[in-house]
Structure 1
């Protein structure tokens, strides 16, 4: 008979909270930076010169067809051979940005291509500048279209942060592994960690749903 004992887990719960905070920081930071990368690459793939399109396509194919774990190892263990040494947390953030950027590029590209060319031509006929056309006619409606996919990708990204513990990044999974090694309460530790990931996922999903109602309501606010 197994005796459940959550006291050691509760005693080290502050360490799990610190790990969860870093998980959120890594996820939000990777999403914000990755979103910028995604927008630039989506523009390059849809409107950029041919060499830039080839480069973006190569980037997307490499990232989408290799395991995330291998990408982390390449950044953390491979780049030092070229003279670029990163801390575990910095390497984790870079790996997450690179990974999110590739998937985000395809999501945003699909949104941009969903905009009818007639709308762009109408904006040109009205005398709008290229920046105004991109902001009001292309980018904002495109983001509204792909917003659910982007938020789902963020949740997936946040759950993927558990992998960065393999390079000793101080995320929630790493904190849980340390606590399990100290207490040997494997079942209790990983039950609590699972619950914490679930709570974070549900909380962000709820937040994104609220933002969608405000930011992308009809008509689009300017």
Structure 2
């Protein structure tokens, strides 16, 4: 093998990787929040007694979960301009990530809500709790607590899948690596470092989400 390994050009370009990592973190965090909020809306529609709401939610969830994420990104970025809706690479990426996350979050949260026993809701009503408080403290919070590990896994998977949005010129981590590769042709070194950075980002999100879980969804100790 005649290839000579040289990480110097990669290490010299650390500002590019740092900027890309920050962009990836920002886009992923926005998509997580938006995806969870939208997922709860679709979960409520999915469990609604009104058939039109159920059909729309089921159709959306099945469409997103049974089509490749890259196709969804391409549809938003390349297809929607045909309808007069033109988005930049970053906007299209965040929208695609949010919509994709929402479909999976809807089903995960629905599983948590369905695990709540009807007797708990009846007990809340017997205590005179307001309907909003019942859903907030007796339904949604315990449901999120029950499925929080699954949500965390889905969020981290979405962050890793964000590498695909480089295909629409969203200037995140993988896009920066591709740009550097075109300049230096040090593919092995660049993508080795890129993989290591994604590993670190995954660990960061894991620790951050565990902290959120302990802070907001853990059982009281007293």
Unaligned 5+ segments in structure 1 are none
Query: Could you tell me the TM-score, scaled by structure 1's length?
Result: 0.96
- What is the deviation of 1:58? 0.2
Counterpart residue number, 2:200: 199
Give the ranges of 4+ consecutive aligned residues of structure 1 lying more than 6 Å apart after TM superposition.
none
Inter-partner Cα distance in structure 1 for 2:149 and 2:118: 23
Q: Deviations over 1:161-220 (max 9, x none)?
A: 000011111010010000011001110000110000000101111222232223222238
Unaligned 5+ segments in structure 2 are none
Q: How many residues are aligned here?
A: 221
- What is the deviation of 1:12? 1.2
- What is the deviation of 1:2? 2.4
Inter-partner Cα distance in structure 1 for 2:169 and 2:208: 30
Inter-partner Cα distance in structure 2 for 1:3 and 1:197: 25
Q: Indicate whether 1:169 and 2:170 are aligned.
A: yes
- What is the deviation of 1:48? 5.0
User: What is the DSSP-based 3-state SS (H/G/I as helix, E as strand, rest coil) of the residue aligned with 2:85?
Assistant: coil
User: RMSD value over aligned CA atoms?
Assistant: 1.3
Q: Indicate whether 1:14 and 2:5 are aligned.
A: no
Query: Could you tell me the TM-score, scaled by structure 2's length?
Result: 0.96
Counterpart residue number, 1:65: 66
Inter-partner Cα distance in structure 1 for 2:43 and 2:96: 19
Q: Deviations over 1:98-154 (max 9, x none)?
A: 100000000001011000011011111111111011001000000100110111111
